[in-house]
C-alpha cells in the first residue's frame, strides 16, 4: 500500500519543518509505505529555501495558484507515480499525523473511495473553530445535504484521503478557489463513496490562515452558489 501525503504550503516558513518532522517520525512506525511532497504555492516568505536547506521533498510553484492548484499538483504527481492513496495534509501543523491510519482505513478496507477527517464527530480538546466559522460550516454542510445529497459535517476540512480512482479524477479536474466543499459534489456526482471519520486537529502555532475574516461573506456566497449550481447539474460537474 503506497500512500502519498500532499502538503500544500503558502508562507509556512515557521511551520513546515515541524510538520514534516512529525511526518518523518510517523513514517518509521506505520505499516504501509508513506511518502510526502510539499507543494510550495508561490510563497512570498522563505518557505522554499527552508525546504531546500532541510532536504524536504518539495515542488516549487513559481506563482501562487491557490489551494486548489497546489493540491491538484499533488494529485497529478500521485497519479503519475501510481499511489494507492493520496492524502491532503496541511503544512501549518494543524493536522495530526497520528490520525492518518483512521483516515485511510475505510479506503483500505474497501468501504469508501474518499474520506474526510472531521473535527465534529466527537469533541476535540486540542482545536475548536470560532463560533462564526462553525456557523459557516453548518450552513455549507446543510447546503451540501440539500442540493448534492452529501452528508458531511466538517465539509471544509482539508484533511482528506482519496483512492487511486479518485486520484485520477481529481488530477484531471479540481476546483480552484476554495475546493474542499465544491470537490465533494464533484466526487459524489461521479458515484464515489464518501465517508467522514474522526481526525484530531491542533491550533495553528504560527502564521495566519488564508481565509481571513473579511473574506468570510464572499467565501460563503461563492461556495454556496457553486454547490447549488453543481447540485442541479446532471452527470459530472
Asked if residue 13 belongs to a domain, the reply is yes
Report residue 214's pLDDT band, with 50, 70 and 90 as the boundaries: very low
Residue with cell 522563505: 46
Tell which residue, 52, 66, 91, has the closest CA to residue 215.
66
Q: What is the mean pLDDT of the chain?
A: 90
SS3 content of the chain, % helix, strand, coil (to 5): 45, 15, 40
Look at residue 134 in the predicted model and tell me its pLDDT. Answer: 80
Report residue 209's pLDDT band, with 50, 70 and 90 as the boundaries: low
Report residue 20's pLDDT band, with 50, 70 and 90 as the boundaries: very high
DSSP H or E segment with residue 166? helix 164-172
Asked if residue 223 belongs to a domain, the reply is no
Look at residue 126 in the predicted model and tell me its pLDDT. Answer: 56
- Taking 70 as the threshold, does the pLDDT of residue 230 lie above it? yes
Asked if residue 16 belongs to a domain, the reply is yes
Asked if residue 216 belongs to a domain, the reply is no
Query: Residue 119's domain is classified under what CATH number?
Result: 3.90.550.10
Asked if residue 111 belongs to a domain, the reply is yes
pLDDT tens digits, residue range 27-47?
999 999 999 999 999 999 999
Domains identified in the chain, total number: 1
Asked if residue 77 belongs to a domain, the reply is yes
d(CA 196, CA 116): 5
Look at residue 123 in the predicted model and tell me its pLDDT. Answer: 66
Asked if residue 195 belongs to a domain, the reply is yes
To the question of pTM greater than 0.85 for the whole model, the response is yes
pLDDT tens digits, residue range 102-129?
999 999 999 999 999 998 887 655 556 6
Report residue 81's pLDDT band, with 50, 70 and 90 as the boundaries: very high
Range of the domain at 111: 2-128+154-208
Asked if residue 147 belongs to a domain, the reply is no
Amino acid at each position: 500500500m503506497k500512500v502519498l501525503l500532499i502538503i500544500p504550503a503558502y508562507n509556512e516558513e515557521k511551520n513546515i519543518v515541524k510538520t514534516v518532522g512529525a511526518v518523518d517520525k510517523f513514517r518509521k512506525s506505520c505499516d504501509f509505505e508513506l511518502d510526502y511532497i510539499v507543494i510550495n504555492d508561490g510563497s512570498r516568505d522563505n518557505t522554499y529555501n527552508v525546504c531546500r536547506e532541510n532536504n524536504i521533498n518539495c515542488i516549487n510553484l513559481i506563482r501562487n495558484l491557490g489551494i486548489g492548484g497546489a493540491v491538484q499538483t499533488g494529485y497529478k504527481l500521485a497519479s503519475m507515480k501510481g499511489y494507492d492513496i493520496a492524502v491532503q495534509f496541511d503544512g501549518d501543523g494543524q493536522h495530526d499525523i497520528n490520525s492518518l491510519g483512521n483516515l485511510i482505513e475505510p479506503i483500505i478496507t474497501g468501504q469508501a473511495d474518499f474520506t474526510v477527517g472531521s473535527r465534529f464527530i466527537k469533541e476535540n480538546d486540542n482545536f475548536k473553530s470560532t463560533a462564526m466559522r462553525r456557523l459557516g460550516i453548518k450552513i455549507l454542510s446543510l447546503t451540501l445535504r440539500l442540493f448534492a445529497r452529501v452528508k458531511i459535517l466538517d465539509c471544509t476540512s482539508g484533511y482528506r484521503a482519496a483512492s487511486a480512482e479518485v486520484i485520477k479524477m481529481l488530477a484531471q479536474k479540481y476546483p480552484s478557489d476554495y475546493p474542499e466543499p465544491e470537490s465533494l459534489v464533484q466526487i459524489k456526482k461521479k458515484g464515489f463513496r464518501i465517508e467522514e471519520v474522526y481526525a484530531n486537529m491542533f491550533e495553528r502555532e504560527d502564521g495566519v490562515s488564508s481565509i481571513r475574516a473579511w473574506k468570510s461573506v464572499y467565501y460563503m456566497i461563492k461556495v454556496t452558489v457553486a454547490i447549488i449550481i453543481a447540485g442541479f447539474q446532471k452527470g459530472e460537474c
